[in-house]
């Protein structure tokens, strides 16, 4: 059973859309419709505000920490059509890059595995996905774009772990991402040369896909993706070759599901939605997913219902 051990009064003046713990579990980043990003120290059961980052001019939907090998780096995305990359230097946080190559709200941003360098993917309501990479030789940020990735808009992106199982049945280093959109589809993309190609389309949800999460693969002989939707379903997709995916609906909830997130080992899935609960799910020895715990969210922590408008 999981119990609530701590709460944080963030001081945000509007809805909180995302909260992300860093690699070491020592810092918490939050973002809100008050246009701000906040960073808290959460050491030894105490919380303290470290920084308040202001640079967006609209609701901030999501934040993502980079691997610590690159320093203390955070990315945020917003309704203002921008992704901002922030970095700590000398105990001060500053903006180091602003990506503004989308024509509508940027709804999701995720840093990729550190093996690929400092790179993030972002998805937008303009239907496109961008992959933005820091060139260590020039210090400039290069970008690739997947236009028309999702009709109406892209709501979420997630990276495959480096070395995930490739379609030829070998462990390789080709970059892959999974995305979900307003077209009710989940799509897997793979980098081929200087562009990205659609590998497969997964079609089982009946409403907007709100989140996707590719599970960490700790030397497992299969890949696993979780997805959730406004159709109130959470689906686990598994594959042993990344070309044929087997879906399993683990539950149909009583309300819209907004977020899915894997544990570091990839064996426990956290699910949160409009029912104001967070539930944890784990696969048993029979291959069925069972709820092992559920807790109520705090009243001021809301869903992402405004995202992708």
pLDDT at 308 over 60: no
Q: Where are the alpha helices (DSSP H) in 92-235?
A: none
For residues 200 and 244, what is the distance between their CA atoms, to the nearest angstrom? 9
Average pLDDT, rounded, for the chain: 90
The per-residue pLDDT for 174 is 85
Identify the weakest region by mean pLDDT among 109-113, 140-144, 182-186, 292-296. Answer: 292-296
> Which string of DSSP letters, residue by residue, matches 36-85?
EEEEEE-GGG--EEEEEEE--SS-EEEEEEPPGGG-SEEEEEETTS-EEE
pLDDT at 118 over 60: yes
Identify the weakest region by mean pLDDT among 77-81, 82-86, 164-168, 254-258. Answer: 164-168
The per-residue pLDDT for 173 is 65
The per-residue pLDDT for 24 is 93
Q: HSE of 44 in the Cβ direction (CA atoms, 13 Å)? A: 0
Percent of the chain with pLDDT over 90: 77
What does the pLDDT average to over 119-132?
98
- pLDDT tens string 85-108: 999 998 899 999 999 999 999 999
- pLDDT tens string 189-235: 999 988 999 999 999 999 999 999 999 976 677 899 999 999 999 99
Q: Give per-residue burial for 124-148: e unless 16+ CB within 10 Å, then b.
A: bbbbbbbbbbbeeeeeebeeeebee
CA-closest candidate to residue 259, choices 158, 137, 177, 164: 158
DSSP bridge partners of 111: 120
pLDDT at 275 over 80: yes
Q: HSE of 275 in the Cβ direction (CA atoms, 13 Å)? A: 16
For residues 61 and 30, what is the distance between their CA atoms, to the nearest angstrom? 10
pLDDT at 171 over 50: no
Please answer whether residues 262 and 269 qualify as being in contact, where contact means their C-beta atoms are separated by less than 8 angstroms: yes
The per-residue pLDDT for 164 is 60
For the ranges 20-34, 151-165, 169-183, 285-299, the maximum mean pLDDT occurs at 20-34
Give the predicted TM-score (pTM) of the model: 0.91
DSSP designation for 125 = T
What does the pLDDT average to over 160-171?
59
pLDDT band (50, 70, 90) for residue 165: low
The per-residue pLDDT for 250 is 96
CA-closest candidate to residue 227, choices 197, 264, 258, 198: 258
pLDDT at 48 over 60: yes
The per-residue pLDDT for 166 is 47
pLDDT band (50, 70, 90) for residue 294: confident
Q: Is 11 strand, coil or helix?
A: coil
Question: What does the radius of gyration of the chain's CA atoms come to, in whole angstroms?
Answer: 18
Please answer whether residues 96 and 85 qualify as being in contact, where contact means their C-beta atoms are separated by less than 8 angstroms: yes
What does the pLDDT average to over 136-147?
96
The per-residue pLDDT for 41 is 93
DSSP bridge partners of 198: 189
């Amino acid at each position: 059973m999981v119990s609530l051990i701590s709460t944080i009064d963030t001081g945000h003046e509007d809805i909180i859309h995302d909260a992300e713990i860093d690699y070491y579990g020592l810092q918490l980043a939050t973002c809100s419709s008050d246009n701000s990003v906040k960073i808290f120290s959460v050491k030894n059961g105490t919380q303290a505000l470290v920084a308040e980052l202001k640079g967006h001019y609209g609701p901030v939907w999501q934040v993502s920490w980079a691997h610590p090998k690159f320093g203390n780096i955070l990315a945020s995305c917003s309704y203002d059509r921008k992704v901002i990359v922030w970095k700590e230097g000398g105990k001060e946080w500053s903006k180091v890059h602003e990506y503004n190559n989308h024509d509508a709200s940027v709804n999701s941003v995720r840093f990729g595995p550190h093996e690929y360098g400092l790179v993030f993917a972002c998805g937008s309501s303009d239907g496109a996905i961008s992959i933005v990479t820091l060139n260590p030789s020039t210090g400039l940020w290069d970008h690739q774009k997947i236009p028309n990735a999702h009709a109406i808009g892209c709501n979420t992106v997630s990276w495959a772990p480096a070395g995930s199982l490739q379609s030829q049945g070998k462990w390789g280093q080709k970059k892959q991402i999974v995305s979900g959109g307003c077209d009710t589809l989940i799509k897997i993309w793979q980098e081929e040369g200087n562009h990205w190609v659609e590998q497969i389309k997964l079609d089982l949800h009946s409403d907007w896909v709100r989140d996707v999460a590719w599970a960490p693969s700790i030397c497992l002989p299969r890949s696993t993706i979780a997805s959730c939707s406004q159709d109130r379903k959470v689906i686990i997709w598994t594959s042993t070759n990344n070309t044929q995916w087997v879906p399993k609906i683990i539950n149909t909830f009583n309300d819209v599901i907004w977020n899915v997130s894997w544990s570091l080992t990839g064996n426990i899935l956290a699910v949160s939605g409009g029912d104001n609960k967070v539930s944890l799910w784990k696969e048993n020895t029979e291959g069925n997913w069972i709820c092992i715990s559920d807790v109520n969210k705090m009243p001021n922590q809301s869903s992402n219902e405004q995202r992708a408008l």
